[in-house]
Structure 1
Amino acid sequence: MSLTAVQAGAYLHHVAFESADPARLAGYYGRAMDMRVQEVGAGIYYCEGPARRFIVVPGEDRRLAYGALACRDAEGLAALKVRAEREGIAVETSPSPYFDDGAFAVRDPDGHLICFGLDKVAVPAEVGRIKGPTQHLTFASRNVEAFAEFYHGKLGFALSDRVLHADGSLATCFTRSNHEHHTIACFKSNRVGVDHHSYEAGEWNTIRDWCDHLARHDIQIMWGPGRHGPGNNLFIFIEDVDGNWIEISAELEVIHDRPVHDWPHAERTLNLWGQAILRS
């Protein structure tokens, strides 16, 4: 099976969330995630930091408007589009303002809109802002098997790790579209939506800097620090004002060539250091 998404070098470029109070949510990301905030239309906000971007649009709280992955080059983007069409996936127009002409979008089995394109607007690094590029997006779903079939089977993401219930059914599936352990993942849940989205701090000392930054803004950590089993990454979690979970991660595993690992559905899989938030 061709790993088309991996060959395209796709990476999570930005996410867009709906909110019933867009100004409040955008203001939170400005403070918590150390971003510049700009209102660009009626209730539409762009939140930007070094290699991290978050868009807010009017709508329902805790609802993903779309996730957007940038490809390495035009050839990779074209190959992904051909693969999607060959697999019978309906191709839609991309709503992303950050992507060049030629971008496209698809909907996964739970209806999430996922865009693919080429980055047209580089967000400059700013002195004093903490490192934390947009890194991955994780869904909650009642059907993790359909998730795996869509992203791995139809779009050519690689499988990194699986977490299995005692009966062998999928509890979690991690897929990647580059050398990082996961770009898009999915937890078994009794709801459909986003579990969390994540920013990559790079190293432990930068996790410390994020924790100090959050403390200055009186934002409490809801989970962590800890270390995941799959991906082996350090993490903290916070919750934004709409109830969306945000992960700040560091030292995520880089994969070049190894078999898929299967993990038991247990607390120590989710957190090697202590307590875990089990989704199912």
Structure 2
Amino acid sequence: MKLSALQAGFNLDHIAFESPTPNELSKFYKNFIMMEHVEKKNQEIICEGQNRKVILIKGKKKKLSYAGFSCRNRKNLEQFKNFIIANKVPFSKFVNSHLEKGAFSIIDPDKNIISFGIRKKTKIAFKNKFCMPLQHLTFSSRDVEQFEHFYCNMLGFKTTDRVIHKNRSLATIFLTSNHEHHTIACFKSNKIGIDHYSYEVSQWENIKILCDYFSQQNIKIIWGPGRHGPGNNLFIFIEDLDKNWLEFSAELEIIHDRKVNEWPQSEKTLNLWGKGILRS
């Protein structure tokens, strides 16, 4: 039996970045993003909080090393593996140590390493219970059409919304692997890499709490508060020490069964309340 990524049900579990100064960056995540547990292991610095994990590796600034998605159960994982084998998607030799044995990895058309597996259970008792799990990862690509084809047709993510230029070319694509509006997305850009990644904070009240918290820590909010068109979610953005964009999102649309929405490429699509940051 085969299951698509959507049918199997995947959540974003962890993200690994390269950084020229991973030790300094780990202090930022510990002190300001509430990653209580910081551990050095196998050339990696693992920063972990309640349902959120960022891995830092010595290397180039703002470069994704790999990302991991976790599945509901092992049966679904195996049936998803059958799905991508049937689609002749080659497996990478990369071994992701942050997922249970039996995980596997692929390389997408922009050379991003994406792993799929079962989340490893942690024995860490986190004191900070603020609800802020990792939720989605958004890329930049020169070829958004190719990105959509690979993730939708070859892996079985579901397209939820498209943002369209006046010439009908794709500006942005939103795709999901569960019930949430998107777990992965991609902006048309003249560069290849990460645009941003996001934490889900559940409700508007928590956005306000974070705004006050970041103000107290002298961390500037670089975009927002606002509301995206696609996904209808509330948001704020900050930057870490390497200028990676971190989004904190609330009240993201839950998808049941609807047609793909199309939006015009405009500032209002990106922010219904005010200024939008266009990538193309």
TM (normalized to structure 1)? Answer: 0.96
1:133 is matched with which residue? 133
In structure 2, relative to structure 1, the CA distance for the partners of 1:123 and 1:180 (3 Å cut) is farther
Q: TM-score, normalised by structure 2?
A: 0.96
CA-CA distance at 1:217 after TM superposition: 1.6
What are structure 1's unaligned runs of at least 5 residues? none
Secondary structure in structure 2 of the residue aligned to 1:92: coil
**Corresponding position of 1:38:** 38
Once the two structures are TM-superposed, the CA of residue 50 in structure 1 deviates from its matched residue by 1.1
Counterpart for residue 70 of structure 1 = 70
Identical pairs, percent: 48
* Residues 18-71 of structure 1 deviation map (CA, whole Å, 9 limit, x = unaligned): 111110111111122111242323652111111111111111110001111001
Q: Are residues 1:12 and 2:39 paired?
A: no
1-structure distance, mates of 2:129, 2:119 = 21
Pair 1:167–1:225, CA change in 2 (3 A): same
Q: What corresponds to 1:161 in structure 2?
A: 161
Rounded to whole Å, the distance in 2 between the matches of 1:189 and 1:256 is 30
Partner amino acid, structure 1, of 2:7 = Q
**2:92 paired residue number:** 92
Kept after mapping to 2: 8 A contact 1:99/1:121: no
Question: Aligned in 2, Cα 1:257/1:125: closer, same or farther, shift over 3 Å?
Answer: farther
In 1, the alpha carbon distance for the partners of 2:128 and 2:91 equals 40
User: Which shifted more, 180-189 or 76-85?
Assistant: 76-85
Q: How does 1:1-280 map to 2 (within 5 A)?
A: 4-41=4-41, 43-122=43-122, 126-280=126-280
Give the Cα–Cα distance (whole angstroms) in 1 for the partners of residues 93 and 231 of structure 2. 33
Contact 2:199–2:249 (Cα < 8 Å) also in 1: yes
Contact 1:130 1:210 in 2 (8 A): no
1:131 offset after TM fit, Å?
Answer: 1.5
Match for 1:231: what amino acid? G
- The 2-side partners of 1:90 and 1:198 are apart by 28
Report the RMSD for the aligned CA atoms in angstroms.
1.5
State the 4+ residue runs in structure 1 displaced beyond 3 angstroms. Answer: 122-129
Paired with 2:274 and 2:123, the residues of 1 have a C-alpha distance of: 37
Distance 1:129 1:213 in 2: 15
